[in-house]
Amino acid sequence: MDGWRTAAACQEVDPDLFFPVGTGAPALAQEEKAKKVCRACPVREPCLREALDQPRPPSGVWGGLTEDERRSLVRRRRRRADHRS
């Protein structure tokens, strides 16, 4: 187990909270609850980094971002890197 996981704020929370199903209002409300836990998490950065480093993007909320939000972040970073080269 990675060292940072031992400090994860989500250890005390039902893991299902981080995997909302669907796109309706209940799923969005669940997503917001998960993000609230992440905002108070001391290991948000390494958690997000691990999600971004996976060859296949993991589902659910990691590091305070949904799968779609992480995809957008990767695209923005790639565009920024392309502009610099």
Q: Does 66 bind ligand SF4 (CB under 6 A)?
A: no
Please answer whether residues 53 and 73 qualify as being in contact, where contact means their C-beta atoms are separated by less than 8 angstroms. Answer: no
How many residues touch ligand SF4 (CB under 6 A)? 14
Q: Which two three-digit tokens encode residue 82?
A: 């392309």
Residue nearer to ligand SF4 on the CB measure, 59 or 79: 59
Binding ligand SF4 (rule: CB under 6 A), the pick from 20, 47, 66, 70 is: 47
| Cα-based distances in Å from 15 to 35, 57, 59 | 13, 18, 12
- Residue ranges of E strands in 1-85: none
Site map for ligand SF4, 3-42, x if CB under 6 A?
A: -----xxx-------x------------------xx--x-
Report the C-alpha gap between 4 and 64 in whole angstroms: 15
Q: Which residues bind ligand SF4 (CB under 6 A)?
A: 8-10, 18, 37-38, 41, 43-44, 47, 61-64
